Amino acid sequence: MGKTGSNISYSVVIPAYNCKGTIKQLCTEILETFNEVSETVEIVIVNDGGDIDAWTEIQGVYDHFEEKITVIRFTKNYGQHNATLCGVDNSVGEFIITIDDDLQIRPKEILKLIEESKNSNLDLIYGVYKKKHHSLLKNLGSSYVKKVSKIVLKSPGNGSSFRLITRKLAIEILQHSQSFVFIDELLLWYTDSIGFVVVEHETRKDSKSGYSPLKLFNITFNITTHYTAIPLKIMTYAGIVVSFFSFLLGLYFIYRKLFKDVPLGYTSVIVTVLFSTSIILLSLGIVGQYLYKLYQAQNKKPSYTIKKKLRK
């Protein structure tokens, strides 16, 4: 991970996906921001798949700022968190700042993270939005993911992809190499020294987000099955409850048969069988998901694979 003895104070990691039209301006503003405070900085861009035009533009940015920028190209799309983890792994700064490629967070907001870090000496600082300029559907999806994360992972629920991480904390999270990565959960495993600063969130230039409602649902599902045992617990408790009521129902039918001489009807039998079968199938599905995750881990499915790396 990175170079030892580096004199770089800050590494800015940018997971990039179809970032054509924003990446050069973003890098320019980052370097201008750090020139204002006279801090040494490097930029690490991780191209997480996407179209060839975006990659061509990233290469042009590297050619323009090559001494300040490291560029990594994935073989395919692995997801924002995997790309961010790769950027952290290839950074050298004492502090790592992660920022999206869409210019909704302007680089000048980085100064707020730096100031809070110097004043508080925290391990992790999030930039949180006073008002988010996403579409209604994206806001609802994002809020849903955060609420689920807060409930199932016991997270603060106010995180974002705009964050400052100390090198010490970065080294800790880089120990993990599972195929599905959710950085905020990994960070919470190692620290509760967390701060928040309010930052400005601007309207997206191209008005298109890389996260569809289906992707947000898949992220939530993967968070729940990779990092918690909640579905298994629900399955256990549901099994106990269903067994209890099935036992009572069985006693009721036995009572009717013995004391009222009422034949057991086809309807009651088929309803009981169908209900029990549905519970069994649901339980098998949940267990199957966990077995699949274990299978992936056993086969050492990679978090990402690098196709090309540009670095001076």
- pLDDT tens-digit readout, 214-247: 766 776 777 677 666 677 777 777 777 777 777 7
Angle at 70 between CA 68 and CA 18, to 5 degrees: 115
Judge whether residue 142 has pLDDT over 60: no
Read off the DSSP letter of residue 189: H
- With a pLDDT cut of 70, the percent of the chain lying above it is 74
User: Is-contact 14 80, C-beta < 8 A?
Assistant: no
In a domain, 4, yes or no: no
Q: In what order do the strands lie in the sheet with 306-310?
A: 194-199, 124-129, 163-166, 95-98, 10-16, 41-47, 69-74, 306-310
Q: CA 52 → CA 44, 97, 192, 234, distances in Å?
A: 19, 26, 41, 45
For residues 198 and 236, membership in a common domain is answered with: no
Q: Are residues 202 and 234 in the same domain?
A: no
- Domain limits for position 79: 10-210+304-310
Nearest to 47 by CA among 37, 33, 61: 61
If you average pLDDT over residues 118-132, what whole number do you get? 89
For residue 164, pLDDT over 80 is answered with: yes
* pLDDT of 264 over the 70 cut: no
Residue 186 and residue 259 in one domain: no
Asked if residue 137 is part of any domain, the answer here is yes
Max CA distance (Å), the chain: 91
225 inside domain: no
Residue 159 to residue 191: CA distance in whole angstroms: 14
161 or 302, which is more confident?
Answer: 161
What per-residue confidence (pLDDT) applies to 76?
92
Q: Is residue 216 part of a domain?
A: no
With 60 as the cut, is the pLDDT of residue 4 above it?
no
CA distances from 290 to 244, 282, 295 (A): 26, 13, 9
Average pLDDT over residues 275-300: 74
- What is the reported pLDDT for 144? 54
Section 168-183 average pLDDT = 87
Counting the structural domains of the chain, the total is 2
- C-alpha distances in Å from residue 186, one per residue of 61, 109, 137, 179, 225: 31, 24, 27, 13, 15
Which CATH number covers residue 117?
3.90.550.10
More confident residue, 204 or 85: 85
Task: Flag whether pLDDT at 47 surpasses 90.
Answer: yes
Asked whether 130 and 198 are in contact (CB, 8 A), the reply is: yes
Q: How far is CA 23 from the centre of its chain?
A: 21
Highest mean pLDDT among 144-153, 263-272, 294-303: 294-303
Residue 215 within a domain: no
Model pLDDT, residue 86? 95
Q: Does 222 map to a domain?
A: no
- Domain membership of residue 63 (yes or no) is yes
High-pLDDT (> 90) share of the chain, %: 42
The pLDDT tens digits for 277-289 are 767 877 777 787 7
pLDDT digits (tens, 9 = 90+) for 196-210: 999 998 876 654 555
Q: Strand 69-74 relative to strand 163-166: parallel, antiparallel, unpaired?
A: unpaired
Residue 252 CB coordination number (10 Å): 11
pLDDT of residue 3: 47
Find out whether 85 and 172 touch, Cβ atoms under 8 Å.
no
205 and 136 together in one domain: yes
Which residues face 199 on adjacent strands? 129
Token output for 211: 């996260």
Please write the tens of the pLDDT for every residue from 22-32: 999 999 999 99
Q: Which of 271, 277, 89 is nearest to 175 (CA)?
A: 89
Identify the residue whose tokens are 């992707």.
215
Closest residue by Cα to residue 196 from 120, 107, 140: 120
Range 66-94 average pLDDT? 93
Mean pLDDT for all residues in the chain: 81
